[in-house]
């Protein structure tokens, strides 16, 4: 499993020597930020799943900050935030709203439609912000609950999958060893 993940990650020396990241080099020297072991990867997935629901371009920044704070695998945390994209963000936010409306007791099923009088880039961000403010408490509560749930599920799913993969390899190695012993006996 480690080799599979390691194929997709850049070397940590390359990242630390990047011109924009050099001022933060002393924070990027913790070994768990780069090592691929089950706790670090599971924590990176958890941080990435949590930060994936952060609005806008702050997903990767918040994932990087939390990965450094919790000392979990930084590249895995950044890559995991990519589960949210233009195709998945609207359904995820609708699920979060429904969950928040159910938990907070707000009227469920009434989603205010955004009105976009002029589709200019300057005005679109303001209109989206106004729409999110109108959704208010149910959306905020739902986002926190959904992000926390995804983070917890992701953490334990990675831990279990890693354990199953290790056990599978151990059993395969044990069968190979038994086969070699039987060949030597014959």
pLDDT value of position 57 = 80
Whole-angstrom distance, CA of residue 51 vs CA of residue 170: 34
pLDDT value of position 181 = 80
pLDDT value of position 147 = 96
Whole-angstrom distance, CA of residue 97 vs CA of residue 175: 51
- Cβ-based neighbour number of residue 181 at 10 Å: 9
Whole-angstrom distance, CA of residue 132 vs CA of residue 84: 17
Q: Can you read off the two tokens belonging to residue 9? A: 């990650």
pLDDT value of position 55 = 81
Would you give per-residue pLDDT tens digits along the chain (186 residues)?
Answer: 566 666 666 666 665 665 555 555 655 667 777 788 899 999 999 999 999 999 878 899 999 999 999 999 988 999 999 999 889 988 998 899 889 888 887 765 555 555 545 555 666 677 667 766 667 778 888 999 999 999 999 999 999 999 999 999 999 999 888 888 888 776
For the chain, what percent of residues have pLDDT higher than 70? 69
Please give the C-alpha separations between residue 150 and each of 50, 52, 97, in angstroms, as whole numbers: 7, 10, 15
pLDDT value of position 137 = 79
pLDDT value of position 79 = 92
pLDDT value of position 116 = 47
DSSP 49-66: HHHTTS-TTHHHHHHHHH
Whole-angstrom distance, CA of residue 71 vs CA of residue 22: 18
pLDDT value of position 82 = 93
pLDDT value of position 43 = 96
Could you tell me if residue 35 is left (phi over 0), alpha (psi between -120 and 50 degrees) or otherwise beta?
A: beta
């Amino acid at each position: 499993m480690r080799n599979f993940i390691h194929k997709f990650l850049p070397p940590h020396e390359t990242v630390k020597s990047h011109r924009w990241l050099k001022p933060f080099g002393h924070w990027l020297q913790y070994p768990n930020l780069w090592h691929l072991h089950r706790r670090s990867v599971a924590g990176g997935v958890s941080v990435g799943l949590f930060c994936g629901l952060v609005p806008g371009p702050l997903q990767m920044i918040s994932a990087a900050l939390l990965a450094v704070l919790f000392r979990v695998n930084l590249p895995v945390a950044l890559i995991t935030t990519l589960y949210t994209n233009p195709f998945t963000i609207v359904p995820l936010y609708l699920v979060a709203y429904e969950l928040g409306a159910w938990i907070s007791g707000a009227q469920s099923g009434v989603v205010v439609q955004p009105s976009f009088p002029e589709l200019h880039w300057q005005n679109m961000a303001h209109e989206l912000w106004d729409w999110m403010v109108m959704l208010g408490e149910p959306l905020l509560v739902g986002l926190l609950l959904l992000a926390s749930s995804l983070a917890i599920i992701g953490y334990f799913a990675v831990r279990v999958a890693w354990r199953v993969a290790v056990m599978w390899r151990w059993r395969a190695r044990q069968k190979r060893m038994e086969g070699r012993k039987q060949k030597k006996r014959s």
